[in-house]
Amino acid sequence: MTHDECLRTMFALRRFGIKLGLATMRRMLAGLGRPERRYRCIHVAGTNGKGSVASALAAVLQLAGYRVGLYTSPHLVRFNERIRVDGREISDADIVRLYRRVARVSAGGREPTFFEFTTAMAFDEFARQRVEWAVIETGMGGRLDATNVITPELSVITNISREHREYLGDTIARIAFEKAGIIKRARPVVTAVRQPSALAALRRRADELAAPLYRLGDQFLTRRGPGGTFAYRGIAQVWRGLSTGLQGAHQVDNAALVLAACELLMAAAPKLKPDHIRAGLRENRWPGRLEQVSERPLVIFDGAHNLDAARQLARYVSAHFEERPLTLVVGILDDKPYRAMLKLLAPLAARVIATQARINRALPAPLIADTARPLAPEVVVIADVARALRHAVETSPADGLTLVAGSLYVVGEAKAAVERGFVRFKRLT
């Protein structure tokens, strides 16, 4: 099969939907020779910030001289983005080879979902490439997520808010119970969870498994300093003059999780030193999260794919771009609280362009427009994301800001439009 044929076959697995459970993953991994047991892992779950934390941890470990695998989802433009070794995406040829290997062992039993299939591919590739550490981001929840077949050296649970209620439950406590499922016996866990009911669920699970629990604000904390720097007072370390390469005040909390994780990893990763940690945080980049893709005109992409992320984005825009006329290009998926998200973002805009990603879960652009009309002076519908972005860039005033937000799928299509030259502007280097 060609690379394109492999991808089409894998994407077709989405018709099976989301099926939480570990039996199919265990069967496939057994057929592959248990690749997930050949390297040390860090497991990252949470509602927001998983990718930022995972990518920073991978960057730090790589700078320390380790061979590092990174598995994240979803991809923005290319499937290859999901599976990286030492910061490099796997090749098209790798995808074909991995597809064939996993397809051979997936026969029999329930048909794997798309995410199960790709998770097996990632674990197999990390073993083939002989990584020493793998940073694994969950897809959904934790307890029954396809990635939860590993026994990590350490777990990270970033934060918790209401999401995927049909799968994870209707309450914060229930969702926290599902995410706490990644905690393993006697393995430490760090978290930024704040809600009492969520924290209680994590503590119960940690106590049951004798897993040390470290929480931002209790065992470790940060303090803002001059010039965008911050200080970290941790479990056993104090580090000052730190900075992160990611924009947004919330990234300091994500950085604190990385720092606490690094403290706890130092015994298992003896090459890891404070200089590697500082540089990894400073140099880390994570596409599609407050990503400035053009300076003139000013264009920012941010997934802002749920209510908490939309709230963080609204704060950032209000703090940094209050005087700039804003064009908001927005598309949202149908399982998100779109009305509440638009109430946060649309009033900041001089103009809203409602759009929708090419995925069956996308809200119709006219519905987004109808919801936004009472909130913004001007609202138009351009359903195609690429055309919506091009129209925004071509018609925005010289001092304006174009912001693409509401879904990582929308951001992915916008990035693809820029990469293929459909939308042109001076890119940042």
pLDDT digits (tens, 9 = 90+) for 227-245: 889 999 999 999 999 999 9
* 275 & 305 share domain: no
* 244 & 342 share domain: no
* 8 & 31 share domain: yes
Is pLDDT above 60 for 308?
Answer: yes
Query: CB–CB of 144/22 below 8 Å?
Result: yes
The band of 45, judged by pLDDT with boundaries at 50, 70 and 90, is: very high
* 123 & 253 share domain: yes
Q: What is the pLDDT of residue 166?
A: 60
> What's the domain count of the chain?
2
Which of residues 263, 283, 303 is at a domain's end? 283
- Dihedral (Cα; 341, 356, 424, 419), 10-degree rounding: 100
Q: What is the pLDDT of residue 64?
A: 98
Is pLDDT above 60 for 427?
Answer: no
* 64 & 170 share domain: yes
* 210 & 241 share domain: yes
- At 252-262, the pLDDT tens digits run 999 999 999 99
pTM attached to this predicted model:
0.92
* 257 & 296 share domain: no
Host domain of residue 374: 291-427
Query: CB–CB of 46/159 below 8 Å?
Result: yes
* 152 & 18 share domain: yes
Which of residues 283, 309, 325 is at a domain's end? 283
* 44 & 159 share domain: yes
How much of the chain exceeds pLDDT 70, in percent? 97
* 353 & 386 share domain: yes
The set of residues, in sequence order, having a beta carbon less than 8 Å from that of 133 and lying 6+ positions away, is 39, 40, 41, 42, 58, 61, 66, 67, 68, 69, 269
Helices (H), 20-73: 23-31, 50-63
Q: What is the pLDDT of residue 106?
A: 85
Is pLDDT above 90 for 19?
Answer: no
* 232 & 365 share domain: no
Which of residues 266, 283, 300 is at a domain's end? 283
